[in-house]
Amino acid sequence: MKTLYVKFVVFTILIMICSSILAFFISNAYYQQNLKPYNDEKITNIAKSIVEYAKKHPKIDLNEYLENVSSIGYQIYMIDHVGEDVFWGAPFRDKSLSNGTKEQVLNGDIYHGILHFPQQTFVTGFFANELKNTIGVPLTHNGKHYALFIRPDIKLLFNEMHLLFGWLLVLTIGLSIMIVLISTKYLVKPISKLTSATTSLSNGNFNVDLDSNRRDELGELSQSFLRMARKLEQIDDIRKEFISNISHDIQSPLSNIKGYADLLENESISTEEKRHYISIIHEEIGRLSTLTKQLLLLASLDRNDHILKKQSFNVGNQIKELVKTYQWQVSEKEIMLSYSLPDIEMIGDPSLLNTVWDNLFINAIKYNKTGGNIEISLAKKGESIFVTFTDTGIGLKETEIERIFDRFYRANTARTRTIEGTGLGLSIVWTIVRLHDGRIQVNSRENEGSTFIVELPVN
Ligand code: ADP
């Protein structure tokens, strides 16, 4: 973060310096091209009018007159043929001026010192307080010839402006640097917060705090970062719960198997007991096998590598076949089974959909009361088919309905605990229905029964 901050500040200040230099060169070119000749012409005109006035009024005291002009804001130098010279106004810093120039002006030429002041001095040439930087004009008064050199007294005329512009410059630079320092901090701060949030995420702490109220790209980034953190936390919770559930579900049949195998080692037990223990071991192995089969199926559905092998088939016939295979379990529990399964063709993965009906039907038997009812119906409405399994079993509480499709969830009633199950069947059902772009709806009342309605697109 520090380097980004420093980079940003240095970069902005560099841009400021570069643009100042560029602006200086541009304004200098403008001064040399336009302002310098204009300034020269202006001063030349002023000098000419001074000369004109002196010429027209031979009676005035030249010394007094020029003293007056200088007090308005000019620096004046005058010399005659004999070499006698006088200065009025603020003294020149550099008084050197070639005798040739003085001679030329005495002989009637105009000297354009301002226009020809060296270009290397840039715009500052305007301020150079030198005798060379003047306009020289010939002046005749009372028959005597003089050379008059004049330039505006910049200090007198513009001193306040000078200071004002100086302060303006210093304040602009100072304030810009301060604003850059502060605004960069404001810009970079959320990035450094994101960095520490990332570190905390990678350390397994999902409780990150970010300012997601900003209405810019960084605000958006923070928001999606928070969403990602929440999602990761959920995934991590699910993973932990999954491992703990799975370990428990594998561990309990294994310890039962071990316990009964130990008992079988005892040679004094009767054949009757032996048979009983072996049948328990078989049951537990069956449980483990169902669990691993269901886990493998869920894993392949999750990985999406169980690409749907879709084909057209008769759903009504499929469910009728299934009902036949469970006939003996239905009669064993003295359940009244009724169904309406017309011939309806649909397109889907028959093997996966068979798993759906299988799980729903088994649940309707398992969670039913002895002597209860089961109704299965199939209907086509528009572009959808509806398969309904209704039972008059133990039913579910409102809060339980929300969770029955969660992996490993088993409604925690005393009765459910006596019924074999893994809590994976309905998650498999939900995943398969979703892969077919279908929906599943549950209506249930505790102690009255449940209805599971599966809606699937026909094509
Ligand atoms: P399993 O039946 O192996 O426990 P499922 O995923 O099939 O797992 O079902 C999850 C839970 O939903 C069951 O444990 C049970 O509590 C509840 N359940 C499912 N079907 C029914 C039903 N027809 N009647 C009442 N409860 C049901």
- 309-343 pLDDT, tens per residue? 899 999 999 999 999 999 999 999 999 999 999 99
Helix (H, G, I), strand (E, B) or coil at 76: strand
The answer to whether the beta carbons of residues 433 and 386 sit under 8 Å apart is no
The residues of the chain that CATH labels 1.10.287.130 are 217-302
Pocket lining: 359 vs ligand 1, CB cutoff 6 Å = yes
The answer to whether the beta carbons of residues 99 and 85 sit under 8 Å apart is no
Please name every residue paired with 417 in a beta bridge, in sequence order, or none if there are none: none
The residues of the chain that CATH labels 3.30.450 are 4-160
Give the ligand 1 atom nearest the CA of 405.
6
CA of 125 to the centre of ligand 1 (A): 96
Pocket lining: 66 vs ligand 1, CB cutoff 6 Å = no
Amino acid 1: pLDDT: 46
Pocket lining: 134 vs ligand 1, CB cutoff 6 Å = no
Amino acid 413: pLDDT: 65
306 pLDDT band, cuts 50/70/90, is low
The pTM (predicted TM-score) of the whole model is 0.60
Cα atoms in the Cβ-side hemisphere of radius 13 Å centred on 106: 18
CA of 322 to the centre of ligand 1 (A): 19
Q: What does CATH list as the number for 4-160? A: 3.30.450
In CATH terms, 311-457 corresponds, of 3.30.565.10, 3.40.630.40, 3.20.20.70, 3.60.15.10, to 3.30.565.10
Q: Which CATH architecture has domain 217-302?
A: Orthogonal Bundle (1.10)
| Residue for token pair 């200040």 | 13
**Is residue 239 over pLDDT 70?**
yes
The answer to whether the beta carbons of residues 1 and 188 sit under 8 Å apart is yes
CA of 395 to the centre of ligand 1 (A): 9
Residue of 195 and 304 predicted with greater confidence? 195
Residue 374 φ then ψ, to 5°: -135, 135
Give the ligand 1 atom nearest the CA of 395.
25
The residues of the chain that CATH labels 3.30.565.10 are 311-457
Pocket lining: 410 vs ligand 1, CB cutoff 6 Å = yes
